[in-house]
Amino acid sequence: MAPASHTDVLIRPIREVDSEAMGRVHAQVWHETYDGLISAASLENVSPRRMAELWTHYTSQGPEHRHAAALVDGEIVGFAASGPAREQDAPAPRELYFVYLLDSWHRKGIGRALFDAVVDDGEPLYLWLAEKYPGARTFYEKRGFRLDGGRRDEPFLGETITEVRYSR
């Protein structure tokens, strides 16, 4: 699906029936985002079917988890989620888990709308970002995030990536 010059975007909660579409978009976003950060062999294991399984019961996590999908012409093109901090020593009570958007939809305000759907204005928050993925830094810095010195090596698709922590 190619971006149009003037397109209506719908931001809404992710639904249980979205799992297949979410899996398809999630797989494509990971291929676009992590190509060059991890091996092609590891990325080959990322399939829409496998990713769809991750979304099967996602919406039943409870009200403290906020999630949203962005739809253009009825098709999901991105998604975001936040929820309770997952680390004991977290710099904020809530964590931004992800904002993923297909490359072809970047710089159209959709990522910002997704972010706003899962984060309250000025809410203290933190996130982890692949250190070698500089493309998202400006997006988060515009929303008040700064590197806070947190750093970790995380297993990812059978490899290890270094992540840096941003907080606000």
Domains of the chain in start order, with CATH, are 9-167 (3.40.630.30)
128 three-class SS: strand
pLDDT at 45 (0 to 100): 78
pLDDT at 6 (0 to 100): 54
Are the CB atoms for 110 and 78 separated by under 8 Å?
yes
pLDDT at 90 (0 to 100): 96
Q: Quick check: pTM over 0.85?
A: yes
Name which of 76, 28, 74, 73 is nearest 50 in CA terms: 28
pLDDT at 53 (0 to 100): 85
Q: How many CB atoms are closer than 10 A to CB 37?
A: 16
Task: Report how far residue 104's alpha carbon sits from residue 24's, in angstroms, rounded to the nearest whole number.
Answer: 15
Mean pLDDT by 10 residues, the chain (168 residues): 63 94 92 82 82 84 93 96 95 96 94 97 94 86 95 90 95
